[in-house]
Amino acid sequence: MTSFSRMVIALALAAPLGVALAQPDKPLVYAMYADIKDWDPSIAASTEVNLLSNVYEPLVWYNLPGSKQALTPGLATAWTSNADGTEWKFTLRRNVKFHDGETFDAAAAKASIERVKKLGKGSAYIWDSVESITTPDPHTLVIKTKVPAPVDLIASSQYAAYMVSPKALAAGTDWFNQGNDGGSGPYKVKKWVRGQEVVLEKSDAYWGGWKPNQYSVVLLKVVQEAATQAQLIRSGEADFITLPSVDLVKALAKDPGINVMQGMSWKNTQFLINTKKSPTDNVQFRRALTYAWDYGTVIDRIYEGGVTRSKGVIPSSMWAYDAKLNTPSFDLAKAKQLVESSGVPKEQRKLTVAYIGNSEEYKNSLLLFKANLQKIGVELELKPGPWGKIWDDAKKPESAPNMISMTWWPTYATPSDWLIGLFRTESPTVFNLSHYSNPAYDELVNKGVEKEASDRPAATDFYVKAQQLLLDDAAAIFVADLKGRVIHRKTVKGVVLNPAYDAVNFYALSR
């Protein structure tokens, strides 16, 4: 008997006998490839997104592209700004309770944002432009910014924009990291078994109410192997999976009980190059690596055409993308020339690359890269592992590899997220795992941010120039723009693919 089956039986037995026999409350099962790393919603900025967006709520939500309105109310019911976008007024939803019984109001909203800014971790940079937050009354929040800023968009972020109970904020990060939550969302955390699963249950007091056939229990189950995830969804033991390889996707698409949804995405993948560790602290040597990557074969044979070639760090689906950027191409002769001109001694031409070990695409791309590097006298050691350890090691100079795999999706709908999150100078290190620092680049990005809300063409110009600097400095190998993909059992209704959120809205689903 599987642990999943035991849980279903336990839930049925826990209910009144007549109800259990009539309609067992089968959990929705979501197979995720990594456990929750950061439980603190003011800090979490990675694979925790499914937990965050179902347990917590932002002031506003970003709608599917093409919708009549870009944003829809969350914990704010209305919002306005002054003419130059430096003052924003949010009218807050009434009669909302956090899971711990605390009331959501303007003071709670103010405290949530200010704590993010004070901690300065994760995606805190989205609030950099904020100068002050005031609360004229319990249901009004006023945010003033130093420069024009799209605060409505910022408030829709899938990280660092969630409203949190004041009691939970006071309890602090250690309390959160025991598997506790302080949200107001439709689901609350029932149980966490480290490394195995998170059990969410519906919040009976949720302001949005509940309808028949919605899921009362959601099981976020840690399943690190793609083949195992595929087996679980085929058997019906999982309703969603996250890790299938290209071959598995094709096979699953033929299963009459499974839906493979693909569409627009703001995700892309790259290999960040450590600019501070020898020998990749040498810009000529880094450039050689960008010419030794076989872009065409990786896209056509390894991803089998399911992606498109990246041109810089901003994907083609996001504004400020520029197809005219001067990007490297696969050219081993040029790569060898750059290695020789770099001055790096032959005995030091050795690299390490860390990557998420359960990704067949990463592994096969790197095996091809390794073979090509051998042809130009460079050794490459592959170091697969779980994301949490890879990320922690990459932040520290003493344990950081020369290269690291990175698939990125934005906090909210802005190209600055890639440019700030991955490459702007930061201390301590969070996601700038290239350890890249270039004052000229930082200035271009900061100027783009200042212009983003008032003069998008000017912001685009700054962002394009910043991207070219990244390419010239070879801060990463920009590999591919990814398609959005959700794989689920067809028995689950209401699934949509929104590029703004790398998560599934469980509340919108039904049997």
pLDDT tens by residue, the chain, 511 residues: 444 344 433 433 333 333 333 345 799 999 999 999 999 999 999 989 999 999 999 999 999 888 999 999 999 999 999 999 999 999 999 999 999 999 999 999 999 999 999 999 999 999 999 999 999 999 999 999 999 999 999 999 999 999 999 999 999 999 999 999 999 999 999 999 999 999 999 999 999 999 999 999 999 999 999 999 999 999 999 999 998 888 899 899 999 999 999 988 999 999 999 999 999 999 999 999 999 999 999 999 999 978 999 999 999 999 999 999 999 999 999 999 999 999 999 999 999 999 999 899 999 999 999 999 999 999 999 999 999 899 999 999 999 999 999 999 999 999 999 999 999 999 999 999 999 999 999 999 999 999 999 999 999 999 999 999 999 999 999 999 999 999 999 999 999 999 999 999 999 999 9
Structure tokens at 442: 């930082």
Give the β-pairing of 484-489 and 240-241: antiparallel
Distance from C-alpha of 264 to C-alpha of 243, rounded to nearest angstrom: 18
Distance from C-alpha of 472 to C-alpha of 326, rounded to nearest angstrom: 8
Percent helix, strand, coil in the chain, to 5, is 35, 20, 45
Residue among 357, 343, 360 nearest 247 (CA): 360
> Which helix (H) or strand (E) segment is 295 a member of?
helix 295-297
Give the pLDDT confidence score for residue 386 in this predicted structure.
92
Structure tokens at 92: 């807050």
**Three-state secondary structure call for residue 230:** helix
Give the pLDDT confidence score for residue 24 in this predicted structure.
52
Enter the CATH code of domain 268-482.
3.10.105.10
**HSE (side-chain half, CA atoms, 13 Å) at 360:** 14
Three-class HEC string of 318-381: CCCCCCCCCCCCCCHHHHHHHHHHHCCCHHHCEEEEEEECCCHHHHHHHHHHHHHHHHCCCEEE
Give the pLDDT confidence score for residue 247 in this predicted structure.
86
469 neighbors 444 (Cβ within 8 angstroms): yes
Q: Which CATH number fits domain 60-168: 3.90.76.10, 3.40.630.10, 3.20.180.10, 3.40.50.720?
A: 3.90.76.10
Residue among 421, 385, 415 nearest 481 (CA): 415
**Three-state secondary structure call for residue 248:** helix
What values do phi and psi take at 355, rounded to 5? -150, 155
Q: Which CATH superfamily is domain 3-35+194-261+486-508 in?
A: Periplasmic binding protein-like II (3.40.190.10)
Residue among 279, 283, 290 nearest 348 (CA): 279
Task: Compute how many other C-beta atoms are within 10 angstroms of the C-beta atom of residue 372.
Answer: 20
Distance from C-alpha of 152 to C-alpha of 305, rounded to nearest angstrom: 36
> Which helix (H) or strand (E) segment is 129 a member of?
none
What values do phi and psi take at 133, rounded to 5? -130, 125
Distance from C-alpha of 294 to C-alpha of 311, rounded to nearest angstrom: 15
Give the pLDDT confidence score for residue 65 in this predicted structure.
85
* Domain segments of the chain as ranges: 3-35+194-261+486-508, 60-168, 268-482
Distance from C-alpha of 342 to C-alpha of 402, rounded to nearest angstrom: 16
pTM as predicted: 0.88
